[in-house]
Structure formats: structure tokens, C-alpha cells
Amino acid sequence: MTYVDPTSPELMAEDAGTPKTFRDVVMAYVGLTKPRVIELLLLTTVPVMFFAARGVPALGLVVATVIGGTFSAGSASVFNCVYDRDIDEQMRRTRRRALPRHIVTPAAALVFGTVLGVLSTVVLAVWVNPLSAVLSVSANAFYVFVYTMLLKRRTTQNIVWGGIAGCFPALIGWTAVTGELSWVPIVLFMVVFFWTPPHTWALALRYREDYAQVDVPMLPVVRSARQVAFQIVVYSWVMVATSLVLWPVADTGLVYPIVAVVLGAVFLVQAHGLHRRAKTSDELSVLQPMRLFHSSNLYLSLLFVAVAIDPLLH
């Protein structure tokens, strides 16, 4: 039996000419919104609402915030897919997206992204509050214009500063409940800010050949694995330290700081492990960067679960 690579250009060309079912088209549009990214963003929104309410927030408010946040994040992802469709078609990790497969046209995707953005703004402005709507629009615009169009293809600092867009959900969750900003959500904003480079660089180490092929200067493309791993360690230490700042700033109970310390220790062990392996080899089989990538997802998820639980037990 001959193995056929599902991401080969030949199969992609054949796939592009194949009639698509209604389900294929629907799933293609859903895929454009990057649902897994949305899940992570909502996981940093809803727990902050619990913390801001010092208990369980109103269900209707949570639903409206989740719907508005989903539409907003989905809109930004769609615009990103449209702008990056040229490099997505060349990268093994992204070749199966809707635009490279020509299931959805760029024009249709732009309309879809615009509709999602408008719906998000209306939902948040009407059923949450204007400040949350403004923050959501700002995050969307930052991701599209600053990260996607300005930074991504020009600098190794692309995800450091471009990652700011992914920090906004902490602010949106807080303002949805309180109607104003404070130092508490800003601390959580900074936790996500320092979390983003280790998370993304670990993934970029795995796919550095893809990024190099399309001339996207992710840090692992232009620096050695050892240098990247050192940067990951630095950001990881700052992230863990920042996470502990929430304890005195927000006057949390003991649940949050205990969880933050344990999770932080585990994350630091993973980061230093990657650095130790990077000192001996640049080979993926030795580096195993996806171990840190998956650990980073678990870290952020459990940390924000602790944010939600702490006021319930305090």
C-alpha cells in the first residue's frame, strides 16, 4: 500500500476541485474562527467574571459575554486567515484550512469576519456594557492590524507584542461585571502577556521549518534552540512571579496562591527541562517542545480555574 500525504500539494489541488457538502462548508467557516483559540480566550474571561463578582455572576451576563467574546475572537481569527492565506497554503500545519483548500473564498470570509465583528460589538454594547465592547473591538483591531499585518512577518518580537490581543479577555471579563478597570484584571492581563511567549515559542520550535519556509521570523527561526529556550525560561519566571502578585493586590484567599505556586513550579520544571535539552541538541526528537506547549495550556487553564474558585471558598 502506498502512503499518501494528506497535506501534499497534489492532494490539495485535487481536494480543491472536489465538490463540497453543506457540512464541509459549515465546518470550513467554523474552522476559520479557530475554535481552540476561542476556548482558551473564554477560559481567561469567565473565571475573571467569577472573581469580579466575588461569587457566581448573573447567568445572563455570562452568556452575553461569552457570545460576544466568541464572535469577537472568531472575527479576528477570520481576518487573520484571510490575510495569511498565502503563507497558510505553504505551511504543513495550516494547509488544510478553508482558504488554502478553496472551500471558502477570501471575499466570503471577509464578509463572515465583518458580520461576526459587528454582532460581537452589538451584543457586548447592548447586553454587557460599552466599556467591554470597546475593549473587545480594541483587541480585535490589535490582533489584525498590529500583530497580523504589522509585526508577524517583520520581527522576532511579533508574538511578544502581538500577544497583547490575547490578554484583553481578562479585562473584558472584569469590566463585564464591574463596569470599570482596576489593578486586579491588569495583573491577570500581564500574566497572560508573559505566558504567551513560552507558549508560542514552544509551538514555533516544533514548526520552525514551516515558518522559515515562508520567511516569518519567529524567534526559533532566527535563533538557536538554546537561545530560544533561555528566553522561555526568563519569561516563565516573570510569568510565575506576576501570577503571585494577584494575591496581595486582590486580597485573595489561600486557594489561589497555593495553586499558583504549585502550577508555577511545574511549569518552571518543564521550561528548565527544555533549556537543558536544548543545550545538547537542536533536534526535535531531543527537544520535545510540545511537552512545554501542552503544559502551558494546562497551566493557564488551571490557574484561571483557581481564580474562579478562590472567591467561592474565601
The mean pLDDT of the chain is: 92
Question: In the predicted model, what is the mean pLDDT of residues 201-215?
Answer: 94
pLDDT score of 210 more than 60 = yes
Do 249 and 183 meet the contact criterion of CB atoms below 8 Å apart?
Answer: yes
Residue located via cell numbers 533536534: 283
| C-alpha–C-alpha distance, residues 51 and 308, integer Å | 5
Q: Angle between the 183-206 and 168-178 helix axes, to the nearest 10 degrees?
A: 150
- In 43-135, at which residue ranges do the beta strands (DSSP E only) sit? none
The amino acid at 201: W
Do 83 and 148 meet the contact criterion of CB atoms below 8 Å apart?
Answer: yes
Lowest mean pLDDT among 66-70, 87-91, 180-184: 87-91
| C-alpha–C-alpha distance, residues 189 and 171, integer Å | 7
| C-alpha–C-alpha distance, residues 33 and 74, integer Å | 4
| C-alpha–C-alpha distance, residues 268 and 277, integer Å | 14
pLDDT score of 57 more than 80 = yes
**Tens digit of each residue's pLDDT (9 = 90 or more) over 262-288:** 999 999 999 999 999 999 998 988 999
Cα 101 to Cα 7, 19, 300: the distances in Å are: 10, 11, 33
**Tens digit of each residue's pLDDT (9 = 90 or more) over 163-190:** 999 999 999 999 999 999 999 999 999 9
